[in-house]
Homo-oligomer: A and B are copies of this chain.
Amino acid sequence: MIDFRPVANIIGWLLVALGVIMLVPMLADLVTGSLDWRIFLISAFVTVTAGGLVVLATASTDASGLTLRQSFLVTTLSWTVLPIFGGLPFMLAFDHISFTDSMFEAMSGLTTTGATVFAGLDSMPPGILLWRSILHWLGGLGIVLVALIFLPVMKVGGMQHFRSEGFDTMGKVLPRAADISWMLLQIYAGLTILCAAAFLLTGMNAFDAVNHALSTLSTGGFSTRDTSFTHYSASAHWVGIVFMFLAGLPFIRYLQFINGSYRPLFSDIQIRAYLRWTLYAIGAVLAFRILREEGDFEPMLRETAFNVVSMFSGTGFGSNDVTAWGDFPILVLVVVGFIGACTASTGCSIKVFRYLVLFEAIKTQLKQLVYPNRVIPMHLDGRRLDEEVVVSVVVMFTAYVVGFGVLTVLLSLSGLEMRTAFTAAWTSICNVGPVWGAEVGPTGDLDGFPTFAKWLMILAMLMGRLEMVAVLVLVLPRFWRG
């Protein structure tokens, strides 16, 4: 039997923290004189109480280390329990928001997906808007921690390849984890403050600057405006492009960077491929648009770069109506969404590293076919690539592909038309954000989606965010046995 107490203890502490953080949007409402501050106080009280009770009930526990199974449980349970409480303010704030909708919005927040069931953002109380951005930011922080601390020992998605980077200390994970978390928090917060300051300089008001910085660094995509970035100036777009791209880099490189190792950041093969592919995608879409559209070069370049980086990093901010560009640009955006940024970033989807591994596996296999009697080892970035890593990557990739197919069919069965089902499956399993289709509201909201579709997307966002495999393992009967 698995000892659930350390797991519950951690979840309890996370709930307490979540409840305390709810006081931030409460303050925002108080400052601006919005009466909504009370819902945050209530939500905070409920969340802290629930978390506190769990912590007390499991206090006797030795939380100095987690077993492998406990790690899997903590990961999935965090992203299951926290959205339930994180959605409380939404349910209390609006009469028409059901449990489904609040769960959807909070899951979309904590998984940094950014798909929303809300319309009329411009007239919403500041507390609610800030809470959505904070959920993104917390989710982004959480996922980088999981990627740096948990996934390498859990061997999910080939992350064990990065164990030798110095973050391979399970068993005694927590003490080490505290160091990493602290450094990471500084970097993440620092970049967010930089981003907010840059947005301020472009003429964005302070509230919008903070909110968009929170959802940029987390590659989340929630905005405080129904029109998202279309509302802002050209310079705000350029700032967005830079920081969305930065949010998609492996945070481990930033950690090394501030510890004095500058080289890894600039010589990382994954970062180079990510940059190269981003430029290819921008170039292809830009060339297509130049041949078909009239207009100035700068806006065309800017909007193209903004949307490519937005989808590639999995942020999902919109600027301009991309569907007007034609089908080819949309397909490029969908494809880069299926790729996703770098591992151990706040970005989502399959990620550049896995494609590099898959391409290396294909290349090696082709060589192997020509020389059937030679043993041809695989390499990535000058380092030997373990067969185990390849299998792990491949299993994750297959789970994404098959999961995407199944999800599209089920979403269509829920009543969505094909294009909507397709993009909704893509946006939720890759945690991107936008959905295109007839059932999407005029501001891009998914309020009109059938309840069954919303729950499918909630599950898909969760699974996609935790790299499929980390959730799937819980379905295995023998996970719970012995």
Q: Is there a chain B Cβ closer than 8 Å to A409's Cβ?
A: yes
Does B412 contact A361, Cβ atoms closer than 8 Å?
Answer: no
- Chain B residues positioned under 8 Å from A59 (CB to CB): none
A397's partner among B154, B156, B335, B398 (CB-CB below 8 A) is: B398
A362's partner among B68, B330, B362, B472 (CB-CB below 8 A) is: B472
Q: Which residue of B lies closest to A468 (CB)?
A: B362
A26-34, A365-373, A451-459 - the one binding chain B: A365-373
Q: Is there a chain B Cβ closer than 8 Å to A478's Cβ?
A: yes
Within 8 A of B (CB), among A390-411: 390-392, 394-395, 397-399, 401-402, 405, 408-409
Does B409 contact A398, Cβ atoms closer than 8 Å?
Answer: no
Give complex CA distance A47, B390 in Å: 47
Does B476 contact A370, Cβ atoms closer than 8 Å?
Answer: yes
A154's partner among B156, B369, B387, B390 (CB-CB below 8 A) is: B369
Does B399 contact A362, Cβ atoms closer than 8 Å?
Answer: yes
Give complex CA distance A74, B154 in Å: 45
Interface string of A416-428 (1 = CB under 8 A from B): 1111010000000
Within 8 A of B (CB), among A131-159: 154-156
A394's partner among B155, B330, B361 (CB-CB below 8 A) is: B361
Does B370 contact A478, Cβ atoms closer than 8 Å?
Answer: yes
Interface string of A327-344 (1 = CB under 8 A from B): 110111001001000000
Give complex CA distance A365, B330 in Å: 35
Of residues A155, A332, A366, A416, which shows the largest number of chain B Cβ atoms within 10 Å of its Cβ? A366
Q: Is there a chain B Cβ closer than 8 Å to A4's Cβ?
A: no
Distance in angstroms from A325 CB to nearest chain B CB is 12
Q: Is there a chain B Cβ closer than 8 Å to A469's Cβ?
A: yes
Of residues A72, A401, A417, which shows the largest number of chain B Cβ atoms within 10 Å of its Cβ? A401
Give complex CA distance A45, B224 in Å: 74
Does A361 contact B469, Cβ atoms closer than 8 Å?
Answer: no
Does A156 contact B418, Cβ atoms closer than 8 Å?
Answer: no
Give complex CA distance A412, B401 in Å: 21
- Chain B residues positioned under 8 Å from A412 (CB to CB): 327-328, 331
- Chain B residues positioned under 8 Å from A327 (CB to CB): 412, 416-418, 421
- Chain B residues positioned under 8 Å from A369 (CB to CB): 68, 72, 154-156, 469, 473
Q: Is there a chain B Cβ closer than 8 Å to A5's Cβ?
A: no
Does A391 contact B361, Cβ atoms closer than 8 Å?
Answer: yes
Give complex CA distance A397, B394 in Å: 10
Instruction: Decide: A473 near B332, CB < 8 A? Known: A338-B405, A358-B398, A397-B398.
Output: no
Does A398 contact B362, Cβ atoms closer than 8 Å?
Answer: yes
Give complex CA distance A397, B396 in Å: 13
Give complex CA distance A408, B295 in Å: 28
Give complex CA distance A236, B475 in Å: 45
Can you add 10 more A-B contacts, CB < 8 Å, to A390-B391, A418-B419? A68-B369, A69-B370, A155-B369, A156-B369, A327-B416, A331-B418, A335-B405, A335-B409, A365-B392, A366-B472
A-B CB contact pairs (8 Å), 26 listed = A68-B369, A68-B372, A69-B370, A154-B369, A155-B368, A155-B369, A288-B413, A327-B416, A327-B417, A331-B408, A331-B421, A332-B409, A335-B409, A338-B405, A358-B402, A361-B391, A365-B469, A366-B469, A366-B472, A366-B479, A367-B476, A369-B473, A370-B479, A390-B391, A418-B419, A419-B419
